Every structure is written in C-alpha cells, then in structure tokens.
Amino acid sequence: MAYLKQLLHKLSADITAVPAALQQSHYPALDGLRGLAILLLVFGHFGVNDYTRHYGIFFNSATGVNILFVLSGFLITTLLIKEKLRNGSISLKYFYIRRALRILPVAWLFLLVLAGLNHVFELHIRLFDFIAAMLFFKNMPVQQEPYTAHLWPLAVGVQFYLTFPILLVLNIRWYTIISLAIVIVVPVVCVINHFAPAVFASNAVLHLLARICNYMFWKGPVVILIGSVFSLLMFKGIINPEKLKVNQLLSLAILLVGIIVPAKTFLFYTKYLSEYLSAILIGLALVIAISQKDILSKILSSAILTTLGMLSYSIYIWQELFSGTRNLQPWMQYFTQLPLWATIGFKCIFLAVIVSFSFVFEAWFLKLKDKFHYTRSGADKKAAPKN
C-alpha cells in the first residue's frame, strides 16, 4: 500500500528537473535503434524472409514500424518537456514548423515522382490516393493500393502530433493520466473483443467503444503513447535506470524478445497481447540502452546502424518502389528471371542510389529545421536538441 501511495504521488507530482539519462541533446543509440528498425522493415519487404525462414528467422516489417512509433513517442515527449523546463513554456508554433520540415519535403517529393511514374507506366493510382497520402489520412479504413499504402504510419504520426502535444502543452498531469488510461484500457478492450466478441456485441455503446479502440487507437497511437509514457515515467522518477545494476546483456535480451514475440511464426504468438508486450519491451530496452553503457548501447551506437538511422526516413519513403518478392512493379519486370538473392541485391543498389540523392534534398530542410528551436530570453541556452 505504501508503494502504491508513493507511485500515485510521483505520478501526480510536477516535473521540475531533467533526469541525468535525458540530459543529452543527442542519443546515438536511438539513431542506431532507428537504423535497426529500418533494416527489419526493408528485409521484410525485399524478400529476405524467403531465405531466413528456413532457419526459423523472420524479419517482421510491422515490428520495425512499431520500433519507430515507440521512438517517436519517447523523443517527442522528452524534447517537449525539456523545452518546457528550459523555457517555462512550449512553442507549439516552432514544434509544428519542425515537424513539417522533417516530414513534408521528402514525402511530397516521393508523391511527385510517383505521379510521374503513374503517368509513364499507367499504374492506375487514383487521385484520391494521392490526396489521402498528401493530407495524411492513409490510415483510414479506405481501399488501399500498393504504392502509397506504406504512408499510413506517417498519417498516424501526423495525427498524433496534431492532438497529443497540445494536451501536453496545456497540462502535463492530464496528459499523463490520459496517456496511461489509453495505454492500459485500449489493449484490454482489444484483447477482450478479439477473444470474447460477444461481450461488446451485446451492447451498442460497448460495441462502439470496441470499434473506436480497434480503429482509432490500436494501430499506431497506443504504441506511440507507450514510448511517451516511458519518457514521462523517467521524468517523474518512477523509472530510474541509472540506479539499476543490470547485466550488460539485459537490454539486448529484452530487445530481442521484443522483436521475436510479435512475429506470427512465434510459437506463443497471441494477437494484440504479443504486439502490446513487444512495444513495452522495446521501450524498456530503449530506456536501459540510453542510460547504461551496455552491449546494446554499443551495438546501436555503431557507425553502420547510426548511419542507417540518419537515412531511415528517406529509406522508408522510397523502399516501397521495390517492395515485394514477385516484382510486380513495371520497372522490376526485367529482373523476374534472376534468382531472388540477385534481385534483392539490385533492389538495395537502386534504393541506395535514390536515397543518396533524397538525403541531400532532405538535409537542406533538416538544417533549416534546426533554426526553429524556441528559447525564451533569459532562459538557460543549452544546445538545441535534435529530433
């Protein structure tokens, strides 16, 4: 009972300081985690599983997306709270300018190129699909086509940015309560609705609640909020990883389990529960990795993974042009007679060339984005955080 009272007290207490583990302006391990996520996604989309599944290894692209969601929630929450502590307030205007400069240029460049490909190769992509992708509602339950369907996580992210940071600015305490409620209630509703649908089908209100949880919160927002909650718990001193004496391999083991459990080939895979557990384990591994100089932190801070993390957004946007193992895209028809390993190799080469040009374009906007960090006159002017 005493522990519960202490926990509730910490949850309701104001945030007054930045914990030691979050005082850095840049986290190389998180860049590496982003790089690992994009590897999972590209391997899953390019057909590597056709080889690795014989050895019981499966690269789940959905898990790569969930890693990116957890990272996004954790970083956005951390950066906004640090801004509030540094300046006494948060500039939503600058926040939205930074998000726009981060997301829009490469995404809209991709759509512009895709419009040209649509005309040349007669891909039959509807105007509606371009509009849905450009305005970020590809996550809505509408008919999808393969060339822009991968933009649904961007839609989830943008919709999250347009809502939850506003609540964070207005009242951190209420943001904490609502985030925890969603993170706890939505998975419970989804699990019950999946295994015992009659519980919600018998009542119109409960049925509506189940549909809202499934379609509005489960695929994306809950996972982003799990990352956000981990950040909040660190700021409130409920999670204090610096004081933990953990094994050097612990966070690596936690992350590996987090990657394995949501795979549908996993022996104990359970819909909703596996994805939920995976997101929590990813968040826990993330927190330990940035707080301890352990094996996972060193792996994620390696040059290869951090470079991939830096390029991850461009890689994610453009990889869809080569996604799939059956070479359905018109520009991939010339490779149908090649063995799969050769096709994967060509896909990686083509993607690398495109990304190298895309990142030059992206980098210009990233430099511009770094100019929009709000610092109130008289506040402690520390290095602007990178996100």
Neighbours of 165 (CB within 10 A): 20
Res 73 pLDDT > 90? yes
The confidence score (pLDDT) of residue 376 equals 67
The confidence score (pLDDT) of residue 383 equals 43
Q: Rounded mean pLDDT of 133-139?
A: 93
Nearest to 81 by CA among 17, 27, 162, 164: 17
Cβ partners under 8 Å of residue 211, min gap 6:
none
Q: Rounded mean pLDDT of 274-296?
A: 93
Question: What distance in Å separates the CA atoms of residue 302 and residue 29, rounded to the nearest whole number?
Answer: 8
The confidence score (pLDDT) of residue 75 equals 96
The confidence score (pLDDT) of residue 327 equals 66
Confidence bin at 381 (pLDDT 50/70/90): very low
CB 385 within 8 A of CB 85: no
Q: Rounded mean pLDDT of 41-65?
A: 89
Neighbours of 210 (CB within 10 A): 20
Question: What distance in Å separates the CA atoms of residue 218 and residue 314, rounded to the nearest whole number?
Answer: 26
CB 80 within 8 A of CB 295: no
Cβ partners under 8 Å of residue 125, min gap 6:
114, 118, 145, 147, 148
Question: What distance in Å separates the CA atoms of residue 307 and residue 302, rounded to the nearest whole number?
Answer: 8
Question: What distance in Å separates the CA atoms of residue 369 and residue 103, rounded to the nearest whole number?
Answer: 11
Cβ partners under 8 Å of residue 266, min gap 6:
260, 274
**Any idea which of 54-68, 111-125, 225-239, 373-387 has the lowest mean pLDDT?**
373-387
CB 281 within 8 A of CB 261: yes
Tens-digit pLDDT profile for residues 314-340: 999 999 999 987 667 898 888 888 898
**Any idea which of 83-87, 206-210, 268-272 has the lowest mean pLDDT?**
206-210
Q: What is the largest CA-CA distance in the chain?
A: 69
Q: Rounded mean pLDDT of 136-146?
A: 85
Confidence bin at 366 (pLDDT 50/70/90): very high
Tens-digit pLDDT profile for residues 337-364: 889 889 999 999 999 999 999 999 999 9
Where do the H-state alpha helices sit in the chain? 2-12, 28-46, 49-52, 61-87, 92-121, 127-134, 152-161, 164-170, 172-195, 198-201, 204-212, 221-235, 250-260, 273-291, 295-300, 303-319, 340-369
Tens-digit pLDDT profile for residues 153-196: 999 999 999 999 999 999 999 999 999 999 999 999 999 988 99
Q: Rounded mean pLDDT of 214-234?
A: 91
Structure tokens at 87: 């300046």
Q: What's the mean per-residue pLDDT of the chain?
A: 90
Q: Rounded mean pLDDT of 115-120?
A: 96
Question: What distance in Å separates the CA atoms of residue 25 and residue 387, rounded to the nearest whole number?
Answer: 9
Res 382 pLDDT > 50? no
For residue 321, the 8-state DSSP code is G
Q: Rounded mean pLDDT of 269-283?
A: 94
The confidence score (pLDDT) of residue 217 equals 83
The confidence score (pLDDT) of residue 387 equals 55
